Structure 1
Amino acid sequence: MEEVPFQSILHPTDYSESSKPAFAHALRLAIAARSALHVLHVDDAGNETDWARFPDALALLKQWKMLEAAAAPEDVRRQLGVDVTREALGSADVAGTISAFAEERLCDLMVLMTHGSSWMGRLLKDSVAEASARLTHAPALFLHEGQHGFVDHASGRIRLHRILMPVAADVPPMHAWGLASKFVRALDPLAEFHMLHVGDTLPTFGNMLPYVDLKRGPVVETILEVAEHARPDLIIMATAGHHDLFDDLRGSTTERVMRKAPCPVLAIPEHARRNRA
């Protein structure tokens, strides 16, 4: 079986009830990879840290029956090989602080909960999750509010059967495909990939990938239309970030897909930090 290609996972938390699915994904992926998991809260108001509000990894692992009811915190590392740390930092620059923390700890995956907002809301106050991911050279798994994702919060079971991976001519996909295929096969060897290109002709790299479905139409809308029909468990996209002011206002293609996607989105930067692959 493939090895999950991550060694250090970062999950920023705002303590909210809606962020619980994202924490469950971060913890379950850390278990699968036997990696470090850093749970981080950044407070921009300088409030005293309420450690009791941090998500409880030990309780969730007991609920998933991965640890016995009498297990102690040290059993998470001893029995499951996962080192869970909790950190609280104060800063007015929340996204910048999250990014700096990720770089310092060499995090090679971020798991983020994002909240839907209008384009005007993003213009006035950028999404912390999206801004953090843009500043950090690591893949980012986005769940948005109301999504349960591919990890069952009650049992810890992973459902990752169908993957939609759009590819674009202007963002070389080979690094993303190498990482994505290893990641998915490690979690579900029978998962099926649906490769998609929106345009008039297939890019030259088409013969280096599995069969690529060609569709014509507006890029974001077509990807979302295919996703609504195919009902994937995960969308994976290679991304090059923002190119101009228009991207800054409305978001990159990946961000625009992520905001309306019916499932989590794994964004893999074109020049992501190399990991154990």
Structure 2
Amino acid sequence: MSIRKILVPTDFSPNSYLAVEAANALATRFGAEITLFYVEATHDYLVLDIGSTGAREEREFEMHHFDEAKELVSSDVECHTMVDKGTPYEAILAAAESRHADLIVIATHAHSGIQRFLLGSTTEKVVRGAKCPVLLVHPDPDRSPARMLVDLEKIVVPTDLSDTAKAALPVAAEIAKSCDAELLLTHVIEPLTGLGFGTGAEQVYALQRGLQEATSEGLTKFRSEVPDGVKSEVVVLEGTAHDELAGLVDREKAGLIVMATHGHTGVTRWLLGSVTDRVSRTATCPLLIVPPS
């Protein structure tokens, strides 16, 4: 993966500025350019209540806040601004296409007035529709997302061991190589469900052993595809996916999670269902979501 152009959707809220800082950290590392993108939402999509009375006030508002956001971008990083109108997720995806973006960086966990833009259906639709990776950034009380990316030492790469899940590996490896970070190749064995009444302890034990052996074998094969020169470690966890991933991030002080979309049922649920939301809420680091190759 080559990161040369980064799109940063912003509503000019404090949390969206965290995304600008995170994008700047990556742009500095990879020599990329940044485009700050603001959506003048229509219909029921409220990006921000600016209280303007006309187009002139709207332009002044945008220019003022774009100037504030650009203050967060290093002087040696090329930075552009862009404005469009429409449904936020459609405008974001169109902007990513027109700017040939290699990465979209978007903030989550905004206050209620703009939460729909930054956290709910819009973010999920951007993740589903984007042809490039999407980095989700949210506040952490102890370290800024940008600082985590600057000081990056460990990257968690969850996998369901499917071929499509491998899409995350080259992206994670490229980032790891750029900062000499270690990849933690991780699979979570979730509790067995759907067992018939009367299933004996020996049968359950045999099933668990089979899962563990298949996981170990699959992760070993997965690890063999890590490029030479990139450090990696295999991690097998048992429990609820989002809890185990969040716990691993905390224990290892990982600065980034890189996950692929559209793997088997388990990882699809991790990424596009309730588990994704919980990971993005509970993990104390940015989450990079990679589309299929």
Please name the residue that 1:99 is paired with. Answer: 93
**If the length of structure 1 is used for normalisation, what is the TM-score?**
0.73
CA distance in 2, matches of 1:179, 1:253: 22
RMSD between superposed Cα atoms in Å: 3.3
Q: Report the residue type matching 1:233 in the other structure.
A: G
CA distance in 1, matches of 2:140, 2:6: 22
Match of 1:193 among 183, 189, 203: 183
Please name the residue that 2:206 is paired with. Answer: none
Q: What SS class does the counterpart of residue 242 from structure 2 fall into?
A: helix
Q: Report the residue type matching 1:229 in the other structure.
A: R
Match of 1:181 among 173, 178, 199: 173
Cα deviation per residue 1:236-257 (whole Å; 9 max; x = unaligned)? 11122897xx969x72644432
Displacement of 1:127: 3.8
Displacement of 1:40: 0.2
Please name the residue that 2:20 is paired with. Answer: 23
Q: Report the residue type matching 1:25 in the other structure.
A: A
Please name the residue that 1:90 is paired with. Answer: 85
Asked if the contact 2:15/2:108 (under 8 Å) is kept, the reply is no
Displacement of 1:145: 3.6
Structure holding more helix per residue: 2
Q: Report the residue type matching 1:234 in the other structure.
A: L
Q: Considering only CA atoms, is the larger Rg found in Structure 1 or Structure 2?
A: 2
CA distance in 1, matches of 2:278, 2:260: 13
Cα deviation per residue 1:100-146 (whole Å; 9 max; x = unaligned)? 1111221110111011799xx98xx9342332222111111111244
Distance 1:23 1:241, change over 3 A: farther
CA distance in 2, matches of 1:117, 1:136: 24
Distance 1:161 1:211, change over 3 A: closer
Please name the residue that 2:65 is paired with. Answer: 53
The answer for unaligned runs of 5 or more in structure 2 is 44-51, 53-57, 190-210, 224-231
Give the number of aligned pairs.
239
CA distance in 1, matches of 2:263, 2:98: 21
**If the length of structure 2 is used for normalisation, what is the TM-score?**
0.70
Q: % of aligned pairs identical?
A: 27
Q: What SS class does the counterpart of residue 163 from structure 1 fall into?
A: strand
Match of 1:10 among 7, 10, 14: 7
Match of 1:114 among 108, 123, 136: 108
Q: Report the residue type matching 1:194 in the other structure.
A: L
Please name the residue that 1:141 is paired with. Answer: 135
